[in-house]
Amino acid sequence: MDASDRLRPVLRSFEPYDPAFSPCRVNLSANENTHELPAEVRSAIGAAFRATPLNRYPDPMANALRDALAARHGVSRERICVGNGGDELLFNLLFAFGGPERTLVTCPPDFAEYANFAAMCETPVTGVWRDAEDFSIDGDALVAAARDAALVILTSPNNPTGDLVDRALVERLLAETDALVLVDEAYVEFAPEGSSVVDLVATNPRLMVLRTLSKAFGLAGLRVGYLVANPAVVDALGAVRQIYSVDVVAQAVALAAVETRSALAPVISDIVSERERLIAGLANLAGVRTWPSATNFVLARVPRAAEVRRRLRDEHSVLVRDFSSAPGLEGCLRLSVGTRDENDALLDALATILREEA
Ligand SMILES: *Cc1c(COP(=O)(O)O)cnc(C)c1O
């Protein structure tokens, strides 16, 4: 018997997500925070872990964590929904609000999971493609597409292009369309102060903001993300989610991290200054083009990108993400910003390879 014949037709083209990770000396492929967490955060996390009984089921509502996140954003608990990473919330959003005849509008090139989850939930997707040169969004085209849509997802700052979405465009979408609007702010901690639109949630029942502990907080392995949204959205997602998807360890550790988050500020500012140093270093390499970034990664167009990426991995044990065959990202690699030593290793290896490839 071949079980694949019996799969729901819409799921037949999907394959297990296997990024084929090769252990590398320097891994700058997944936008993780590679800095060591500050001692204060590490000790709070350790204490939280030790105090957590594993024989008990989690609080399915994760209320202690929701309260800490609500306090962070100055909203009430009813506006916070936690998930097993931002990914679970994205899936549940499509599961709850998508489906046949409910179009999702996105602005590719963007995060590939949106289209994957939409396909799984049989949700048609309209892509309003970004400008091929500077990745800017055509606001008029976006608003026009969103008029017929159930849901719009904007990524700010965007993965993998690194740029922010204008606050005015978010406001315009809310004013001129009837769509639910999700702003995915997975990287917003690396953007200039005032870049978030989370404050608009209080007055816009159709706006949702996604955050994660996987990037700036340095907890990608923990799998915790959350949504700030209208209580009706939070309830809808609460009703469809796997009730224990955020486990006791994840809740306790995330709570400790959120409570000690001010200690993270020096790590974040180091990553931001390393990002600018990386961009400056890349500008010295012949044939390399970069774009400005408000994130912890840099998109770079390099000659013979796929080969350069392979040689970085095989000859220098440096792993980066290859987007060179993705539509709209021809020749592009995505370089996560690491520690100073990691970024130097990347720059040195790239300089060597590009000299040899020239
Ligand atoms: C990393 C990322 C997320 C969420 O990741 P999780 O680890 O599932 O929390 C969401 N959106 C974008 C654009 C991302 O890059």
For 162: left if phi > 0, alpha if psi spans -120 to 50, otherwise beta; the answer is: left
Tell me the average pLDDT of the chain.
Answer: 97
Give the per-residue pLDDT at 20: 73
Give the per-residue pLDDT at 270: 98
Helix H or strand E segment including 182: strand 180-184
Q: Which residues contact 47 (CB under 8 A, 6 or more apart)?
A: 256
Give the per-residue pLDDT at 30: 96
Q: What atom in ligand 1 is closest to the CA of residue 184?
A: 11
CA of 247 to the centre of ligand 1 (A): 18
Q: What atom in ligand 1 is closest to the CA of residue 155?
A: 13
Helix (H, G, I), strand (E, B) or coil at 331: coil
Q: Is 87 in the pocket of ligand 1 (CB under 6 A)?
A: yes
- Which residue's C-alpha comes closest to atom 15 of ligand 1? 159
Probe ligand 1: pick from 107, 111, 187, 323, max atoms within 8 Å of CB? 111
Q: What is the DSSP string of 251-284?
A: HHHHHHHHHTGGGGHHHHHHHHHHHHHHHHHHHT
Helix H or strand E segment including 153: strand 151-155
Give the per-residue pLDDT at 141: 98
Give me the phi and psi of 175, to 5 degrees please.
-80, -35
Please report, for residues 72, 110, 230, 231, 295, the alpha-carbon distance to residue 75 in angstroms, rounded to integers and kept in the order given: 8, 29, 10, 11, 25
Residue 21: exposure state from Cβ atoms within 10 A (0-12, 13-18, ≥19):
exposed
Q: What is the DSSP string of 3-70?
A: GGGGS-GGGTT-------PPP-SEE-SS----SPPPHHHHHHHHHHHHT--SSSPP-TT-HHHHHHHH
Q: What amino acid is encoded at 198 in this protein? A: V
The CATH label, of 3.90.1150.10, 3.30.70.260, 3.40.50.11540, 3.60.15.10, for the domain at 21-37+264-357 is 3.90.1150.10
Probe ligand 1: pick from 159, 165, 296, 321, max atoms within 8 Å of CB? 159
For 304: left if phi > 0, alpha if psi spans -120 to 50, otherwise beta; the answer is: left
Give the per-residue pLDDT at 22: 80
- Sorted by where each begins, the domain ranges of the chain are 21-37+264-357, 47-259
Q: What is the pLDDT along the chain (358 residues), one digit of tens a residue?
A: 788 889 999 999 898 888 777 889 999 999 999 999 999 999 999 999 999 999 999 999 999 999 999 999 999 999 999 999 999 999 999 999 999 999 999 999 999 999 999 999 999 999 999 999 999 999 999 999 999 999 999 999 999 999 999 999 999 999 999 999 999 999 999 999 999 999 999 999 999 999 999 999 999 999 999 999 999 999 999 999 999 999 999 999 999 999 999 999 999 999 999 999 999 999 999 999 999 999 999 999 999 999 999 999 999 999 999 999 999 999 999 999 999 999 999 999 999 999 998 8
Upstream peptide bond of 231 is cis (omega within 30 degrees of 0): no
Q: Please, what is the Cα angle at 27 between 358 and 25, to 5 degrees?
A: 85
CA of 225 to the centre of ligand 1 (A): 8
Helix H or strand E segment including 184: strand 180-184
Fold of 47-259: Aspartate Aminotransferase; domain 2 (3.40.640)
